[in-house]
């Protein structure tokens, strides 16, 4: 039973009531907007943002929300109104930020290993805060575009600190054999060369060691290496204004009593200790920690079927709506919107897509379910909708944002006409 004190905004007000997001019943939302449906709590996103704000209050900082985690315009607008900056990785994400919160353009950091000339131009014109540059070739391109447009480009080198972080191999990024960043040992020479180019301004140094990292220790280790480098550069006449610690702080997908405030404090202390006497601005790029637990994917059971010894619960949501279980063997808690009595049974929860990999859970113990029941897949606010697709020509889900006692549609369900609109035949 989800308690109200849980690290999630989803709870049952009583043993026979339907699951709610804050004060709003998910049964009602499913009736009004259909399923599959993403539901997010604005209050929880704001609370999580406030945790970072207060943990970092002792130092000049900017929290740049990683747009890739959930790029809904309404969520970007909400975070911008709280003072967030943004970490973007494409021209598309830049356009989203400019649309949702044009006033936040100066609080944008542009990351990513493969920026194109057109994307760099758009970001220069928008006057973003800084480019996190990932290779010497990219730095050369940035200098060229800056000259062409007539605007100096502020940059940070994204360093590869060669730090091991215990996470899924697909989302670990901070080791030398990964494609990300520049070998930290080569950085001084690159900064020195860039100092001679009048179109480049060395603004900071950045790292991002991976995602869903539960321990604060590797963050500290990475920042220690970066701050050593920054002190060395200062002694050599290059004074950087910012250190960007990247994103990556993980949540607990299993434990509902996960203490988010304690986690953020521990993380902030690890960074603080590692920054030493650096007195510039600290940038961080959290994505998942801000939005994952604020969101659930609500889906309806279409069929319950048996194949031999196995029972399959077939839902109307599929891997195209939430690909994390299929792609990273990720665990998402699954709870009924209205619980039935009876002994839990071991089932696989699967979607309608024609792939064996289309599952949300395997051998999961769930209370009895029948066709028509609603389920909520929890902790789906990050990398859920953002990684959705039209595979099997399935329309993308609708999204609802719950604010206090109110809920509003922030993205209507896609239609097949939307999907066909871009095609020529
Ligand atoms: N900054 C950079 C440069 C990044 O590459 C990322 C995530 C972040 C910040 C935000 O990381 P976060 O705080 O959300 O962990 N799709 C995967 C996660 C991929 C993360 C990619 N980079 C998943 O569903 O687990």
Q: Is 212 in the pocket of ligand 1 (CB under 6 A)?
A: yes
Residue 5 has pLDDT above 60, yes or no: no
C-alpha of residue 303 to centroid of ligand 1, in Å: 34
Each residue's pLDDT tens digit, 75-102: 999 999 999 999 999 999 999 999 999 9
User: Over 356-373, what HEC string results?
Assistant: CCCEEEEEEEECCCCCCC
Per-residue pLDDT, averaged over 217-233, amounts to 96
4-8, 157-161, 164-168, 220-224: range with highest mean pLDDT: 220-224
Q: Average of pLDDT values for 126-152?
A: 97
The Cα 237–Cα 78 span in angstroms is 40
What are the helix and strand counts (H, E) for the chain? 12, 21
Structure tokens at 90: 């494409």
pLDDT tens, residue by residue, 257-289: 889 999 999 999 999 999 999 999 999 999 999
Output the CA angle 126-129-134, nearest 5 degrees: 100
The pLDDT tens digits for 281-303 are: 999 999 999 999 999 999 999 99
Q: Which atom of ligand 1 is nearest to the CA of 383?
A: 24
Is there a domain that residue 63 lies in?
A: no
Q: Flag whether pLDDT at 103 surpasses 70.
A: yes
Q: Is 12 in the pocket of ligand 1 (CB under 6 A)?
A: no
Q: Is 211 in the pocket of ligand 1 (CB under 6 A)?
A: yes
Q: CB atoms < 10 A from the CB of 421, how many?
A: 8
* Sequential DSSP letters for 328-362: H-----EEESSPPPS--EEEEEE-SSSSTT-EEEE
Residues 182 and 298 in one domain: no
Q: Which of 57, 257, 354, 417 is catalytic?
A: 354
Average pLDDT over residues 142-149: 98
The pLDDT, as a whole number, for residue 4 is: 46
pLDDT at residue 216 above 60?
yes
Looking at residue 298, its pLDDT comes to: 99
Tell me, what's the pLDDT at 390?
98
Amino acid 2: pLDDT: 52
Quick check: 92 and 72 in contact, CB under 8 A? no
Which residue, judged by its Cα, is nearest atom 9 of ligand 1?
A: 247
CB count in 10 Å sphere of residue 151 = 14
147 lies in the same domain as 279: yes
Same domain assignment for residues 235 and 297:
no
Residue with CA closest to ligand 1 atom 6: 247
Q: Do 20 and 149 fall within a single domain?
A: no
- DSSP conformational letter for 173: -
The percentage of residues in the chain with a pLDDT greater than 70, rounded to a whole number, is 98
Ligand 1 centre distance from Cα of residue 206 (Å): 15
Rounded distance between C-alpha atoms, residue 311 and residue 274, angstroms: 51
Specify whether the backbone of 219 is left (phi greater than 0), alpha (psi in -120 to 50) or beta: alpha
pLDDT, one tens digit per residue, over 385-408 is 999 999 999 999 999 999 999 999
338 in a structural domain: yes
The average confidence (pLDDT) of the chain is: 95
DSSP 15: T
Give the residue, by CA position, lying nearest to ligand 1 atom 24.
383
Q: What is the pLDDT of residues 21-30, one digit of tens each?
A: 999 999 999 9
Hey, whose CA ends up nearest to atom 23 of ligand 1?
Answer: 383
Ligand 1 pocket member 181 (CB < 6 A): no
pLDDT band (50, 70, 90) for residue 189: very high
Residue 267 lies in a domain: yes
- In which residue are the tokens 């007539």 written? 150
Asked whether residue 138 carries a pLDDT value surpassing 60, the answer given is yes
Output the CA 419–ligand 1 centroid distance in Å: 27
Same domain, 307 and 256: no
Q: Is the predicted pLDDT of residue 156 greater than 60, yes or no?
A: yes
Considering the domain boundaries, does residue 75 fall inside one? no
Token pair recorded at residue 197: 């180019």
Number of neighbours of residue 246 by Cβ within 10 angstroms? 32
Note whether 82 and 103 are within 8 A (CB). Answer: no
Does residue 279 sit in the same domain as residue 307? Answer: no
Q: Residue 242 has what pLDDT? A: 98
- Within a domain: 404: yes
Question: Do residues 115 and 261 both lie within one domain?
Answer: yes
Task: Indicate whether 311 and 270 sit together in one domain.
Answer: no
What pairing do the DSSP bridges indicate for beta strands 310-315 and 295-307? Answer: antiparallel
262 and 306 assigned to the same domain: no
173 or 144: which leads in pLDDT:
144
Residue 345 belongs to domain with CATH number: 2.40.37.10
Q: Give the position, in ligand 1's atom list, of the atom nearest the Cα of 285.
A: 9
**Domain boundary at 259, 286, 313, which?**
286
Q: Flag whether 104 is in a domain.
A: no
3-state SS of 23-75? CEEHHHHHHHHCCCEEEEEHHHHHHHHHHHHHHCCCCCEEEEEEHHHCCCHHH
For residue 6, what pLDDT is reported?
66
Domain co-membership, 321 together with 414: yes
Among residues 180, 185, 194, 178, the alpha carbon closest in space to that of 225 is found at 185
Any ligand 1 atom below 6 A from CB of 87? yes
Q: How confident is the model at residue 172 (pLDDT cuts 50, 70, 90)?
A: confident
Pairing of strands 334-336, 345-350: unpaired
pLDDT tens track for 43-57: 999 999 999 999 999
238: buried, middle or exposed (CB in 10 Å: 19+, 13-18, 0-12)? middle
How much is the pLDDT for 353? 97
Last residue of one domain, picked from the residues 286, 302, 331: 286
Q: If you take atom 19 of ligand 1, which residue's CA is the nearest one?
A: 171
| Token reading at 24 | 């709003």
Question: In the chain, how many domains are there?
Answer: 2
Hey, CA dihedral for 75, 172, 112, 276, is it positive or negative?
positive
- The answer on 195 and 138 residing in a single domain is yes
Task: Among 252, 286, 320, identify where a domain stops.
Answer: 286
Q: Which of 7, 5, 13 is nearest to 337 (CA)?
A: 13
159: number of Cβ within 10 Å: 28
CA distance 314 to 356: 12
Say whether 354 is catalytic: yes
Residue 180 confidence class, pLDDT cut points 50, 70, 90: confident
The Å distance, Cα 103 to ligand 1 centre, comes to: 24
Q: Which tokens is 288 given?
A: 């998942």
Burial group, residue 201, by CB count within 10 angstroms (0-12, 13-18, 19+): middle
Give the domain CATH number at 164: 3.20.20.10
288 lines ligand 1 (CB under 6 A): yes
CB crowding 339-358: b at 16 or more within 10 Å, else e: beeeeeeebbbbbbbeeeeb
Rounded to an integer, the average pLDDT of 28-51 is 98
pTM of the predicted protein model:
0.97
Tokens of 276: 């030493």
Residues 251, 328: one domain? no
How do residues 333-374 score in pLDDT, each as one tens digit?
999 999 999 999 999 999 999 999 999 999 999 999 999 999
385/150 Cα distance (integer angstroms): 38
Per-residue pLDDT at 171 exceeds 60? yes
Checking if the pLDDT of 377 tops 90, the result is: yes
Lowest mean pLDDT among 29-33, 167-171, 334-338: 167-171
| Residues with Cβ within 8 Å of residue 241, at least 6 apart in sequence | 203, 204, 280, 281
- Residue 80, in any domain of the structure: no
Asked if 182 contacts 166 with a C-beta cutoff of 8 angstroms, the reply is no
Cα 70 to averaged position of ligand 1 atoms, centre (Å): 11
Distance (angstroms) between ligand 1 centre and the Cα of 173 equals 10
The answer to whether position 47 is within a domain reads: no
Q: What is the residue range of 167's domain?
A: 111-286
Res 179: pLDDT: 78
Q: What is the pLDDT of residue 75?
A: 99
């Amino acid at each position: 039973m989800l308690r109200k004190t849980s690290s999630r905004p989803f709870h049952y007000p009583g043993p026979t009531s339907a699951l709610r997001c804050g004060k709003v019943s998910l049964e009602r939302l499913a009736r009004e907007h259909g399923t599959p449906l993403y539901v997010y709590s604005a209050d929880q996103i704001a609370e999580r943002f406030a945790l970072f704000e207060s943990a970092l209050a002792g130092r000049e900082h900017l929290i740049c929300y990683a747009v890739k985690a959930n790029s809904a315009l309404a969520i970007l607008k909400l975070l911008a109104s709280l003072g967030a900056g943004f970490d973007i990785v494409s021209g598309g994400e830049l356009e989203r930020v400019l649309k949702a919160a044009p006033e936040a353009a100066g609080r944008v950091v542009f990351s990513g290993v493969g920026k194109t000339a057109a994307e760099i131009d758009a970001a220069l014109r928008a006057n973003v805060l800084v480019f996190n540059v990932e290779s010497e070739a990219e730095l050369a391109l940035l200098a060229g575009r800056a000259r062409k447009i007539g605007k100096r480009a502020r940059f940070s080198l994204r360093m590869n600190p060669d730090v091991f972080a215990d996470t899924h191999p697909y989302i670990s990024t901070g080791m030398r054999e990964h494609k990300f960043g520049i070998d930290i040992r080569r950085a001084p020479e690159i900064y020195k060369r860039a100092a001679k180019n009048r179109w480049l301004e060395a603004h900071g140094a950045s790292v991002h060691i991976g995602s869903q990292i539960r321990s604060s220790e590797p963050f500290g280790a990475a920042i220690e290496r970066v701050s050593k480098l920054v002190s060395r550069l200062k002694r050599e006449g290059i004074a950087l204004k910012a250190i960007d610690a990247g994103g990556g702080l993980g949540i607990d997908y299993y434990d509902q009593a996960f203490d988010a405030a304690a986690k953020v404090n521990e993380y902030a202390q690890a960074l603080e200790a590692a920054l030493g006497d650096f007195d510039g601005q600290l940038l961080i790029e959290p994505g998942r920690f801000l939005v994952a637990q604020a969101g659930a994917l609500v889906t309806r059971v279409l069929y319950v079927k048996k194949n031999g010894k196995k029972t399959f619960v077939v839902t109307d949501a599929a891997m195209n709506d939430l690909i994390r279980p299929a792609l990273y063997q990720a665990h998402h808690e699954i709870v009924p919107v209205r619980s039935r009595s009876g002994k839990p049974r071991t089932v696989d929860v699967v979607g309608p897509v024609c792939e064996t990999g289309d599952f949300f859970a395997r051998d999961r113990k769930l209370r009895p379910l029948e066709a028509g029941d609603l389920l909520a897949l929890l902790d789906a606010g990050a990398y859920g909708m953002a990684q959705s697709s039209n595979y099997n020509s399935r329309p993308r889900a609708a999204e609802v944002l719950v604010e206090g006692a109110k809920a509003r549609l922030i993205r209507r369900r896609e239609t097949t006409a939307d999907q066909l609109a871009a095609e020529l035949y």
